[in-house]
């Protein structure tokens, strides 16, 4: 019964300015006969100087507007690393390795098996070679080998897809949270592809799973001051040196979820590339809750009592993530939500705060602002919580669940596997808006909004989903018994 009035309200509010403009045009048209009797000769006393001054003022205002207008940032293409099948880690293999490595810790073994059963990961996720050995024996050389494999594979695919010469790259940004060698990973990329000596390269570390969108924001800001430039962003996490070998439960969880992955993204501010670009970047919103002690310490790299280094996850992680998302939403909402949703939110807030009405807090319908959602595939619990809080349908979170199932938690690059899934399914159409949401240590919640510039065909170009997209989506039981 309420559906038609609600739709009418939405259309009225969202097209308010258009309706007013149409009414003004109609009124102006009706009034034309009256204007014909107006004594326009009264304005003849205005001199040529006055007219010229007015003309120059108008030109100056227009020039100021266009010179200060932010440059549009375009995403030309991106490529995700596709691991070899020989690196896959089925549940049986992972469980067996856990039983051997933690032979004297039956409770830790049972905990890992329980996590595997409820993780949402599939049988084809991959780990680097050193972690397949018994016992694992990772070292610096192995970590470099993994970074070469992941990053160079993604970059080769990106250059093949775009036809761009590495020497054309003006800006290079690499984010890898836990592996930070010297020379840096960005220097490694410059050396491999023999980039120009004046390329502006940056290497971000220690910024967690949300660092990918931090890199996008960094590139966007650099492209505002460097005209006619190309920027490449590389997002990855190197797993080899960061596998935890101890028995603390809070530090065993990342072993069960994190897998190999990486993505390379090509951005530009060249207007000539607009027709070739896949997306335009509309917004990047960053929320940092590091001033709060609990938020700051909820994800930390530390040593256990026996000296084993690992990532410790706090029990309050989901609550902290929800609070960070709420703060991020409060910033991005006014930028993307239709006016109808903003008014409903304000009326609800006023009713609860000032009129003391017993109302539930109104959660804006973000499905009216976005067509696609890419939620960081940090784990099934993260996706479940966001689906519930944002009232999303199973199809809206399908890309996140399937990326987690096929590739696991690939840290900052997971958002690009999800966007790749949507493209591989042929669902991305011109005008669609995609919302990427990333979470990371610190604690940070970052989000980016992209607008699709053209229909993207589901063509096979050697992408990460090419050989398996026909099998997805797959059914995911709540528990996979091992």
Q: How far apart are CA 223 and CA 73, in angstroms?
A: 7
Token digits for 368? Answer: 């009216």
Q: How far apart are CA 248 and CA 27, in angstroms?
A: 74
376 is catalytic: yes
Torsions phi, psi for 57 (to 5 deg)? -65, -45
Q: How far apart are CA 227 and CA 270, in angstroms?
A: 7
The answer to whether the beta carbons of residues 80 and 212 sit under 8 Å apart is: no
Torsion angle in degrees (nearest 10) through CA of 70, 277, 330, 361: 150
372 is catalytic: yes
Burial string for 347-372 (b: 16+ CB within 10 Å, else e) reads: ebeeeeeeeeeeeeeeebebeebbbb
The answer to whether the beta carbons of residues 235 and 263 sit under 8 Å apart is: yes
Q: Catalytic residue among 256, 372, 374, 446, which?
A: 372
Give the H/E segment covering residue 23.
Answer: helix 16-36
Describe the chain by its helix, strand, coil percentages, rounded to 5.
Answer: 50, 15, 35
The answer to whether the beta carbons of residues 310 and 302 sit under 8 Å apart is: yes
Q: Catalytic residue among 203, 269, 298, 376, which?
A: 376
405 is catalytic: yes
Quick count: other Cβ atoms within 10 Å of Cβ 416? 27
The 3-state DSSP class for residue 349 equals helix
Q: How far apart are CA 58 and CA 100, in angstroms?
A: 77
209 is catalytic: yes
Integer angstrom CA distances of residue 216 from 18, 68, 220, 266: 34, 21, 6, 10
Q: Catalytic residue among 209, 256, 374, 452, which?
A: 209
283 is catalytic: no
Q: How far apart are CA 247 and CA 310, in angstroms?
A: 10
- Give the CA diameter of the chain: 101
Q: How far apart are CA 176 and CA 213, in angstroms?
A: 12
Q: Catalytic residue among 409, 446, 452, 453, which?
A: 409
Q: Catalytic residue among 288, 298, 374, 452, which?
A: 288
Q: How far apart are CA 179 and CA 176, in angstroms?
A: 6
Torsions phi, psi for 196 (to 5 deg)? -60, 155
Q: How far apart are CA 404 and CA 415, in angstroms?
A: 10
Q: How far apart are CA 211 and CA 205, in angstroms?
A: 8
Q: Catalytic residue among 80, 242, 405, 446, which?
A: 405
Would you name the residues annotated as active-site residues? 209, 288, 372, 376, 405, 409
């Amino acid at each position: 019964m309420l559906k038609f009035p609600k739709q009418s309200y939405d259309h009225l509010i969202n097209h308010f300015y258009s309706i007013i403009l149409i009414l003004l045009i109609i009124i102006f048209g009706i009034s034309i006969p009256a204007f014909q009797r107006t004594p326009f000769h009264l304005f003849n006393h205005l001199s040529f100087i006055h007219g010229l001054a007015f003309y120059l003022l108008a030109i100056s205002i227009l020039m100021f507007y266009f010179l200060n207008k932010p440059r549009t940032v375009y995403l030309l293409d991106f490529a995700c690393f596709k691991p070899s099948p020989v690196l896959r880690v089925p549940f049986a293999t992972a469980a067996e390795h856990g039983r051997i490595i933690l032979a004297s810790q039956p409770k830790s073994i049972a905990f890992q098996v329980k996590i595997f059963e409820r993780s949402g990961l599939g049988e084809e996720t991959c780990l680097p070679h050193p972690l397949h050995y018994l016992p694992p024996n990772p070292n610096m050389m192995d970590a470099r080998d993994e970074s070469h494999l992941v990053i160079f594979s993604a970059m080769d695919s990106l250059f093949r897809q775009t036809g761009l010469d590495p020497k054309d790259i003006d800006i290079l940004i690499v984010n890898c949270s836990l592996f930070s060698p010297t020379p840096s990973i960005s220097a490694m990329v410059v050396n491999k592809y023999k980039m120009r000596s004046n390329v502006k390269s940056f290497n971000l570390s220690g910024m967690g799973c949300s660092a990918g969108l931090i890199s996008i924001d960094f590139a966007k800001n650099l492209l505002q001051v460097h005209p006619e430039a190309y920027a490449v962003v590389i997002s990855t996490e190197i797993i080899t040196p960061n596998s935890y070998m101890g028995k603390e439960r809070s530090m065993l969880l990342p072993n069960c979820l994190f897998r190999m992955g990486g993505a390379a993204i090509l951005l530009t501010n060249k207007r000539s590339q607009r027709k070739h670009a896949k997306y335009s970047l509309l917004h990047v919103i960053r929320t940092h809750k590091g001033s709060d002690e609990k938020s700051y310490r909820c994800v930390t790299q530390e040593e256990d009592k026996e000296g084993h280094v690992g990532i410790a996850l706090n029990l309050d992680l989901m609550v902290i993530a929800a609070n960070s998302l709420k703060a991020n939403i409060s910033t991005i909402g006014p930028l993307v939500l239709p006016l109808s949703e903003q008014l409903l939110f304000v009326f609800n807030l006023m009713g609860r705060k000032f009129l003391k009405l017993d109302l539930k807090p109104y959660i804006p319908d973000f499905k009216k602002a976005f067509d696609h959602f890419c939620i960081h595939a940090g784990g099934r619990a993260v996706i479940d919580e966001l689906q519930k809080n944002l009232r999303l349908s199973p199809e809206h979170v399908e890309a996140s669940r399937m990326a987690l199932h096929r590739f696991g938690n690939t840290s900052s690059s997971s958002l690009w596997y999800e966007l790749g899934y949507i493209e591989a399914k042929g669902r991305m159409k011109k005008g669609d808006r995609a919302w990427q949401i990333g979470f990371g240590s610190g604690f940070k919640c970052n989000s980016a909004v992209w607008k699709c510039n053209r229909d993207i065909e589901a063509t096979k170009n050697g992408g990460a989903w090419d050989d398996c997209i026909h099998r997805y989506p797959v059914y995911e039981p709540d528990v996979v018994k091992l």
